[in-house]
Amino acid sequence: MGTAALLALAAVLPLAITEPSQQNFLILMGAQMGVAWNIVGGYAGQVSLGHAVFYGIGAYTSTMLLTVLGLTPWIGALAGGLLASVFALAMGWPCFRLKGHYFAMATIAVAEIMQILVTNSDFLEGAVGLYLPMDRSGWGWLIFLSKLPYYYVILGLLVLTVLVSWAIERSHIGYYFRAIKDEPEAARALGVSLTRYKLIALSVSAFLTALGGSFYAQKEMFIDPGSVFAGTISIKIALIAILGGVGRLTGPVLGAVILITIEEYSRTLFGSTGSGTDMIIYAAMIILVAVFSPSGVLGLLGDLHRHLGRHLPGAKPAEAKTSAKEIRP
């Protein structure tokens, strides 16, 4: 219900604000990427700090197909998502042999290697970057004079990502993901293939993240390795979900609202003298969440609700949660 209310509010906001601000776009884009990351990092418990590689693959694939072959970005976005999924399978197969922080470090390495390769690629224009052609416009090419259509495109993408996440959360695959996260050895003993379902989680997350990268390219009309493969993008994607509450459908949406709002207001406050402020904010948020609320803002609100509920008249004791050992394939 919380996510539905937030999405409904986002849908009617342009009726009051005819020209959405950059902050509106950043919140929706951050929420979309956070929900996508939450599939592998929240439900399946595999913390990836290299999701910028999928974001960049989506941006570069749709841009190259448009500039070289003249294909519509709708086709380019799907192609970018599929390519990112295939890359995720190839990356995940060896990386999932690692556990914990070793897996996270491997994803960072893969993303950094990809950024270096693209930066030194003459075919992809290297560090110079790529400009999208502006000789066409309209919904078929996702090029508009007004900001409003872009707003509804990213809102629609966020809705799609939330629906996919919601469907996974309530399917048997979602139960397998949580079993792998909470009790991997018990899940393995019951016949759940850990590697297979980790790969499914990563490939779906990669596909949705790549769609976000394709949208970014269309909106900004320019991309380069630093704008779509940067390590700060991976950190922000993960932090949005962690801050709001990993493994929860509404967590990344709330995390995006909090993090992006603080980030943008700090940039406005400090201006050009505040270079690097965003990294300080990320570090501070990570420390605060790790120390005071490992389950994120939603977990903190849930704990507060339960604490108040125990002191209310007629309060009922909380029901026990289903153990991952009870989940059988």
3-state secondary structure 19-83: CCCHHHHHHHHHHHHHHHHHHHHHHCCCCCCCCHHHHHHHHHHHHHHHHHHCCCHHHHHHHHHHH
pLDDT tens for 123-137 read 999 999 999 998 888
pLDDT of residue 322: 46
Q: What is the pTM of this model?
A: 0.88
- Whether the per-residue pLDDT at 7 is higher than 80: the answer is no
Per domain, the residue ranges of the chain are 22-231
Asked whether 260 and 23 are in contact (CB, 8 A), the reply is yes
Q: Give the span between the Cα atoms of 37 and 213, in whole angstroms.
A: 13
The 8 Å CB, 24+ separation contacts for 131-136 are: 131/221, 131/222, 132/63, 132/66, 132/67, 132/217, 132/218, 132/221, 132/222, 133/66, 133/67, 134/221
- Whether the per-residue pLDDT at 326 is higher than 60: the answer is no
Q: Give the span between the Cα atoms of 274 and 217, in whole angstroms.
A: 26
Q: Give the span between the Cα atoms of 33 and 41, in whole angstroms.
A: 12
Distances from the Cα of 308 to the Cα of 187, 297, 304, 316, angstroms: 35, 17, 6, 12
Show the DSSP H helices in the chain as ranges: 2-16, 22-38, 52-69, 73-95, 101-119, 148-169, 172-182, 184-189, 194-220, 225-228, 231-244, 251-270, 277-292, 296-310
Q: Give the span between the Cα atoms of 72 and 39, in whole angstroms.
A: 28
pLDDT tens for 240-279 read 999 999 999 999 999 999 888 888 887 777 766 656 676 7
Residue with token string 């290299």: 50
324 pLDDT tier (thresholds 50, 70, 90) = very low
Q: Give the span between the Cα atoms of 246 and 244, in whole angstroms.
A: 7
286 pLDDT tier (thresholds 50, 70, 90) = confident
55 pLDDT tier (thresholds 50, 70, 90) = very high
* Residues comprising the chain, all counted: 329
